[in-house]
Amino acid sequence: MWLKDSSIGRKFIMSITGLFLVLFLLFHGSMNICLVVDDLFGTQGYNWICEMLGANWYAIAGTLVLALGVLVHFLYAFYLTFQNRRARGNSRYAVETCPEGVEWQSKNMLVLGIIVILGLCLHLYNMWFKMQFAELTGIATSVFNPQDGSAIVKYLFTNGWCGIIYCLAYIVWLCALWFHLSHGVWSALQTLGWSNLIWLKRIKVIGTIFATLAVGLFMIVVLYFLGVNIGMLAA
Amino acid sequence: MDSYINIKVRVWRQAGPKVAGHFETYELNHIFQGASFLEMIDILNEQLIAEHKDPIAFDHDCREGICGMCSMYVNGHPHGPDSAITTCQLHMRHFHDGETITVEPWRSRAFPVIKDLMVDRQAYDRIMQAGGFVSVNTGGVPDANAIAIPKPVADEAMDAASCIGCGACAAACKNGSAMLFVSAKVSQLALLPQGKIEAAKRAKAMVAKMDELGFGNCTNTGACAAECPKSVSLANIARLNREYLCAKFKD
Ligand code: SF4
Ligand code: FES
């Protein structure tokens, strides 16, 4: 199968799964914004979304497709890196330089990806396990009602010093994600062939915009609750 | 103004493909900065021969930037620190008095060292043999102007065709990928009407050969284009991806 056996086929899979995950991030990130809106104006938007998605069949199907996307992206990343290391060989240059125009993140995508995955594990444990998983299995995984997502998030981020540590961990995680995406998005478009002498510069800008947008949506929520928490601690 | 400098040259010495190599440092005095880098190596070799030592083996031919033979990794850059030139076009004025210059061979699994700075680059030839040509029955050769080609397209094809197959792209790539070379060779033909006919077949054959020879998967770091002596653009890689993906989806 050429999607596994040819280099361009493998990169095609990386690009498609990667872009799919970016779209999901945008979707997820815009839902999260409701948390801030709710907290400022006393509305119930986030919980309404939690209830609507919850453990419905389409949310479950979505979660499964998503998990598959992450898994494929992850497995191919290791496969590609393994092959690339072998292609490079064992002999290293005594003097290594980073030529002008080569982004640092482009050479460290695997490491950044691993940080993102570790953050994801923490995130799944803190959020998904207490929301969708609890709702699905009926097991009480926390003191909160699994449909009261807003309370779960707020507690996690504003719970004294623990909340501050969580916020910082999330900030590190999101930064790694930004670096990963700032190379990943344009690289995916380039791999799909959507580039030429003119578009090469444009897709790099598009990549940066997408990375900033996707990460920004999450960052706003974390920073907002960090601010609220510090305000509470100071008072 | 160019003047005379004293330098140290730290060169990779390796007696043969299967032997372990090591660095050797030589002192070289009174080198004119107007000399080319290869002339400096020639002077060093004469000095070595006078001392009854084995001269440094290195590839070179045209010494004017067109054959692509002069593969040297100088101070961490293929073809040296200056941009858009080959090693033979590099001059000693890029180095200063007292400097230690490190010279290494290409280091990539696909380019095994033969001796010292000489590497085996036949892998690139094999990729070319797999499809880097146009198989037309020439017959009576038509006038070149009979087929109109828009200037920007002709320019882009020409820029891709400026690739001299030197191997700096794969040598500079952390993934040991040959994509810039292969994409340049595919592009120079795919852009022109004579080459377009076999474009899909060519892309598939050359990529298959490249993969078979064990070159890595491109992750678009861009080190190749940054170090390419002919400034071949990354846009060619996108074209190769496009040609290949379209061909595969059509199958
Ligand atoms: S693309 Fe550039 S670096 Fe690669 S072989 Fe051709 S001329 Fe050399
Ligand atoms: S010797 Fe021919 S390109 Fe340098």
Q: What is the pLDDT of residues B175-188, one digit of tens each?
A: 999 999 999 999 99
The pTM of this model reads 0.94
What is the Rg, in whole angstroms, of the alpha carbon atoms belonging to chain A?
Answer: 20
Residue B184 CA: nearest ligand 1 atom is 1
Range B4-114: architecture per CATH: Roll (3.10)
| Residues B241, A92: C-beta atoms closer than 8 Å | no
Q: Could you tell me if B33 and B93 are in contact, meaning their C-beta atoms sit under 8 angstroms apart? A: yes
Q: How confident is the model at residue B42 (pLDDT cuts 50, 70, 90)?
A: very high
Distance CA A134, CA A55 (A): 9
A2-89+105-234 topology per CATH: 3 helical TM bundles of succinate and fumarate reductases (1.20.1300)
Q: Could you tell me if A195 and A187 are in contact, meaning their C-beta atoms sit under 8 angstroms apart? A: no
Give φ, ψ of B134 to 5 degrees.
-115, 125
| Beta carbon of B167 within 6 Å of any ligand 1 atom | yes
Cα B166 to middle of ligand 2, angstroms: 9
Distance CA B130, CA B85 (A): 28
Q: Directed axis angle between helix A160-191 and helix A199-234, to 10°?
A: 180
Sequence ranges of chain B with CATH classification 3.10.20.30: 4-114
Give B-chain residues touching A93 at CB under 8 angstroms: 73, 76, 104, 107
Give A-chain residues touching B12 at CB under 8 angstroms: 94
Give B-chain residues touching A10 at CB under 8 angstroms: 217
What is the Rg, in whole angstroms, of the alpha carbon atoms belonging to chain B?
Answer: 20
Q: What is the pLDDT of residues A25-83, one digit of tens each?
A: 999 999 999 999 998 998 888 988 888 887 788 899 999 999 999 999 999 999 999 99
Q: A–B: how many Cβ contacts below 8 A?
A: 146
For A193-231, b/e burial (b = at least 16 CB within 10 A) is bbbbbebbeebbeebbebbeebbebbbebbbbbbebbee
| Neighbour order of strands in the sheet with B77-78 | B22-32, B4-13, B100-104, B73-74, B77-78
| Beta carbon of B65 within 6 Å of any ligand 2 atom | yes
SS3 B104: strand
CA of A204 vs chain B CAs: smallest distance (Å): 12
Average pLDDT, stretch B38-48? 98
Which CATH code fits B121-250? 1.10.1060.10
Least trusted range by pLDDT, from A34-38, A132-136, A212-216, B55-59: A132-136
Q: Which of A84, A107, A192 sits opposite B176 (nearest CB)?
A: A84
Closest chain A residue to B208, measured at CA: A6
**Residue B137 confidence (pLDDT) above 90:** no
Residues of chain B with pLDDT > 90: what percent? 93
| Residues B220, A191: C-beta atoms closer than 8 Å | yes
| Residues A193, B238: C-beta atoms closer than 8 Å | yes
Number of residues written out for chain B: 251
Of the ranges A131-135, A231-235, B1-5, the best mean pLDDT one: B1-5
Residue B142: the pLDDT is 77
Average pLDDT, stretch A205-218? 97
User: Which residue would you say has higher pLDDT here, B217 or A48?
Assistant: B217
**Structure tokens given for B243:** 């040609």
B interface mutation test: which of A1, A2, A81, A187 has the most B CBs within 10 A? A2
Residue A127: the pLDDT is 85
**Residue B212 confidence (pLDDT) above 80:** yes
Nearest to B179 by CA among A94, A11, A3: A11
Average pLDDT, stretch B56-71? 97
Geometric angle at alpha carbon B220, from B219 and B222, rounded to 5°: 135
Q: How confident is the model at residue A24 (pLDDT cuts 50, 70, 90)?
A: very high
Residues of chain B with pLDDT > 70: what percent? 100
| Residues A99, B223: C-beta atoms closer than 8 Å | yes
| Beta carbon of B78 within 6 Å of any ligand 1 atom | no
ipTM over 0.95: no
Distance CA B123, CA B110 (A): 7
